[in-house]
Structures are given as C-alpha cells and as structure tokens.
Amino acid sequence: MKPTPGTLRQSRLWGTAWLLLLMAGCTGASSSGTGSSESFQAEASSLAPLPASFRGEVSCDDCKAVRLDLALDDGGRYLLKETHLGPGEQPRRRHRGQWKLTDGELSLGEPAPEAAQRWQVAQGGDLVSQASRTPDGASARLARLPEPLREPLEERYWKLVQVDGEVAVDGSAHIVLHTQEGRLAGSGGCNRLMGSYQREGDALSLAPLATTRKACQGPVMAQERALVEALGATRAFRLLADELELLDENDKVLARFEVVHLT
C-alpha cells in the first residue's frame, strides 16, 4: 500500500521529535561534567569577593584562648591557623584542606578540628559557629577582615616546609625572589642557590639555577636535591595567606613554603 502525503508528513514530524529528544539528552550529558564547578561558583558567590580572610578567638582548656586565622581562596582551598594565646609556650598548628558552602553553611574538610569544621555565614560576612565558644561562653565568631591576608610573591623570605611530599628536615632552606633583575637567591639547607626567574600572572619559571658545592649530611643533601629539582620543574605558583606553593605543569604541588618576616 503506497503511503499518502499526510502519512509521510506525520512520519517526518515524529522523526524530528525523536531527533530533538536525542539532542537534548546529549546536551544534558555533556553539561553534567561542569555542573559541580558551576554549583560551587554559585554557592561561593555568597562569600564573594574571594579570597577572604577571617579572624576570631575560641575558648581553650589550658590557655587564655586560641586565635583562629582562616583564609579561603576561590578554588575551594582553605588554610586554618591556630595560635594559643597566653603566657608561656604558644604552639601553632596549621590545617589545609578543601571547603564548601551549602545553604549558607561553610564546611571545612579534614584535617580541620571537628569544633572548627562548620560555620554559618552571618549577615555582613562574618562566620558564626554553634560548636565552638569564646572564652566568655558566647558562640564563636570569625570576623571577616577588610582585606584578605596575602603575602606578595616577591621580596619575601620563603622558608621551605615541604618538598616532594616530605616535611623539610632543615629549617634554613629558603628562597627569595628579588624584583630587581628578576633574581632568585636562597639556600637548599646546605648550599646557596642562585638563579633567575620569570613571572607572568600565576605562571612562574625558576631557571637556570646554580648552587655552591659544599657537602652535607645525607638527609639535608637529599632534601636539597629534591628542592633543586622542584624549582627547575616549577611552572606556576599559588599563594594563600602566608603560604606559597610551587606547581608543575599539571598543577601538582612540588614544594610548599611559609613566609618569615626577618624584621
């Protein structure tokens, strides 16, 4: 039986409808990969602008109080510093991890202490916790600072704290980037480091490098070799508060430093 013109038009309409449904399904599947990133940006907008820094005090059983300094960047990373206040020893702890914001609640992932993991974003941008208390018994509050605390890359003494995933074994290893002539200076813990650097935005190159030739104990020499390799492989950097991370071409952390103010 030969199809009529009406039957042919109906078939074409059904075919078009199926094609549109298939295209819609493909579009939805292709956009699902960016959904988490878009969701993160949408939630984080209530904390804007980022980066941001917060400071406050919580109660302490064996000291006057603990000062908390919290830094958040726009990539979902946080740095939480604890400083014990009062006479005598004042230990400091640092916690680094990922943060997220859901329905106005800021969550700090491990290794943040449990009592400091959840904060409500208050009107005005401060952070309030029901799990932590101030020395006078009130709910802990971290006040948002007018400007984020962030050290500049250049003209700072950056002390090595970690390289190739290992904690630094010598406290004298450091680098300084001098803006004049784009010069790098420092120490690997045994020998002096010398070289040049080039920076463009967050891109950073630290080569060529030269060192003196003194021999030192095994662990220090191993650390120095790892540091020299890390500096040579650096392609970018990341700053968060008073910490510097050197990254390779795949954004892997090669070395981490903390700023030291010498004056």
DSSP state of 46: G
d(CA 252, CA 245): 9
Query: CB within 8 A of 83, min separation 6: which ones?
Result: 66, 67, 69, 90, 92
The CATH code of domain 157-260 reads 2.40.128.270
> Given 2.40.128.640, 2.60.120.370, 3.40.50.280, 1.10.1200.10, which CATH number is that of 52-144?
2.40.128.640
Per-residue pLDDT reduced to its tens digit, 181-221: 899 999 999 999 999 999 999 999 998 899 999 988 899 99
SS3 38: helix
Same-fold call for 52-144 versus 157-260 = yes
Query: CB within 8 A of 132, min separation 6: which ones?
Result: 58, 59, 115, 116, 139, 140
Mean pLDDT lowest among 60-69, 94-103, 183-192, 236-245:
60-69
Instruction: Pick the closest to residue 232 from 257, 196, 199, 202 (CA basis).
Output: 196
Please tell me the predicted confidence (pLDDT) of residue 69.
97
The model carries a pTM of: 0.79
Please tell me the predicted confidence (pLDDT) of residue 63.
86
- Domain residue spans in the chain? 52-144, 157-260
